[in-house]
Structure 1
């Protein structure tokens, strides 16, 4: 079954979990969300990396506020991602796939901190409206996600 262009534009498509959306999220080390993009379920992660990084507010992209490291899973192993990080002097903590050479920058201790973003996604799924995607348009769905992010951030800062 083909996915219509209108559905893809609204972030809907086939994935392992069924007909849904895929959230691409970046957060800081404390679990405070910095940026998000939403795509159709069948879109893979590496294709959204630069859009995701561009969704971070410019103030946080400045050299003074730039992170030292970026942790990601094996899906983010791509030459252009490593080059993008290197241009900005950001270290990568991305494990290589089994069939590739070892990443010299990989640090298991830093990689364990990646669970912060997984916990953030778990907190986001506590909002039923987001977990089940009641919204038809991408704009209204993103608005609800950002409201949820604000609530999570306020809880985190306390």
Structure 2
């Protein structure tokens, strides 16, 4: 899932396939947490995310059967394991948002 903000205080969230092509888009209010937006996820296998790191969020994803690929914050006391190779593919989502903005 990816997101971008516009000047109207909204966030655009995207569900993408492994090539970074959007499958589904939805909008939330700009002040709504990304964690809240992620709760609206349908049945997906993975969530690639920024360093919006929270144990409760990881547990909520795990409860839905979603594997989190989110690096931990640098100041986190216990390091979090994540798939670094998969996380590098996140740039495909950023490129997709750039194309949408153009």
Normalising TM by the smaller chain, what interval? 0.7 to 0.9
* Alignment match, 2:80: 103
CA distance, structure 2, for counterparts of residue 85 and residue 45 of structure 1: 13
* Alignment match, 1:26: 15
RCO (CA 8 Å, sep 6+): is it higher in 1 or 2?
Answer: 2
Distance 1:88 1:19, change over 3 A: closer
Determine which structure has more spread, i.e. the larger CA radius of gyration. 1
Q: How many residues align?
A: 97
Gap regions ≥5 residues in structure 2: none
Runs of 4+ residues over 4 Å off in structure 1: none
Written as runs of structure 1 = structure 2, the 5 A alignment for 1:105-124 is 106-124=82-100
TM-score (norm 1): 0.52
Distance 1:44 1:90, change over 3 A: closer
Gap regions ≥5 residues in structure 1: 1-14, 55-60, 127-158
CA distance, structure 2, for counterparts of residue 98 and residue 24 of structure 1: 25
Distance 1:120 1:99, change over 3 A: same
* Alignment match, 1:44: 33
Distance 1:32 1:42, change over 3 A: same
CA RMSD of aligned residues (A): 2.2
Greater fraction helix? 1
